[in-house]
Amino acid sequence: MTGDMRREQILHTAVELFSRNGFSGTTTKKIAEAAGVSEAMVFRHFASKDELYGAILHSKVCEGGEHQFPWEGNADLEAAMAAKDDHKVFHLLAVRALEKHQEDTGFMRLLFYAALEEHELAERFATEFIAKLYVFIGGYIEQRQKDGAMRNVNPRVAVRAFMGMLIHHSLNNMLWDKNRKLLNVTNDEAASNFADILLNGISK
């Protein structure tokens, strides 16, 4: 196994353990044992547990990993924005988010642990990833407000409402409604409804 492959193996193992036990409950020794390497090998790639934690975030966000920004390489989204097709824009954003949450539940759980433990990783994720979503989606809403297509509400409040629906839906599916007894819909159906609710509300 090459050095890069070994590093990725350690990262993958660390995500799984951090997502189950949190930062404080996971030691480098446990990571080494689960990865089938020596603890010295872990430290050869990562100087400390904090550095390993940060490397996970970097691999997910900065290196175009699973949580890369939804507008990167998304020709359909670019076309919908250019056509000012608001429903399609928010539908596509929602589908992308729900799919990524579903594909990488380990990283999602890790982030929740980081927030509960008040580890800097949670704030870094908010700064390096979430904040850019606010700018991107909020910027689109601001432009559509200028076009007269949307009401004059705080764009960031609208972004939070939209993201709140997505995150709560994913949390239900991942944590307390795994068998979909409360709600059993496809990502596409959920995304379409969330886009409708954001753009139209539920009043007649």
Same domain, 151 and 182: yes
**b/e for 142-165, b at 16 or more Cβ within 10 A?**
eebeeeeebeeeebeebbeebbeb
Q: pLDDT at position 67, please?
A: 44
- 81 and 115 share a domain? yes
Above 80 in pLDDT, residue 121? Answer: yes
Identify the weakest region by mean pLDDT among 8-17, 123-132, 171-180: 123-132
User: For position 120, which CATH number holds?
Assistant: 1.10.357
Using the predicted structure, report yes or no on whether residue 177 has a pLDDT greater than 80. yes
Burial class of residue 191 (count of CB atoms within 10 Å of its CB; 0-12, 13-18, 19+): buried
- Predicted confidence (pLDDT) at residue 162 exceeds the cutoff of 60: yes
What pLDDT sits at residue 194?
97
User: Do 89 and 175 reside in the same domain of the chain?
Assistant: yes
Domain boundary (11, 40, 62) is at 62
CA distances from residue 119 to 21, 81, 106, 160, 180 in whole angstroms, order as listed: 14, 36, 17, 22, 31
Q: Is the pLDDT of residue 138 over 90?
A: yes
pLDDT at residue 170, rounded to an integer: 95
**CATH number reported for the structural domain that contains residue 44 in this entry:** 1.10.10.60
Report the pLDDT value the prediction gives residue 106, as an integer from 0 to 100: 87
Do residues 99 and 8 touch, judged by C-beta distance below 8 A?
Answer: no
What's the domain count of the chain? 2
* Pair 37, 11 in one domain: yes
pLDDT of residue 107: 87
Ramachandran category for residue 144: left, alpha or beta (phi over 0 → left; psi -120 to 50 → alpha): alpha
Is the confidence at residue 70, as pLDDT, over 80? no
For residue 62, what pLDDT band results from cuts at 50, 70 and 90?
A: low
Could you say which of 39, 62, 85 is where a domain stops?
A: 62
Q: DSSP secondary structure string, 115-126?
A: HHTT-HHHHHHI
The whole-model pTM stands at 0.84
Quick one: 106 and 190 in the same domain? Answer: yes
Domain hosting 29: range is 3-62
The answer to whether residue 68 is domain-embedded is: no
Please name the amino acid found at residue 85: D
Residues of the chain above pLDDT 70, percent: 94
123 and 179 inside one domain: yes
Residues 192 and 126 in one domain: yes
Q: Do residues 91 and 192 make contact, with C-beta atoms less than 8 angstroms apart? A: yes
Please say if the pLDDT value at position 202 is more than 90.
no
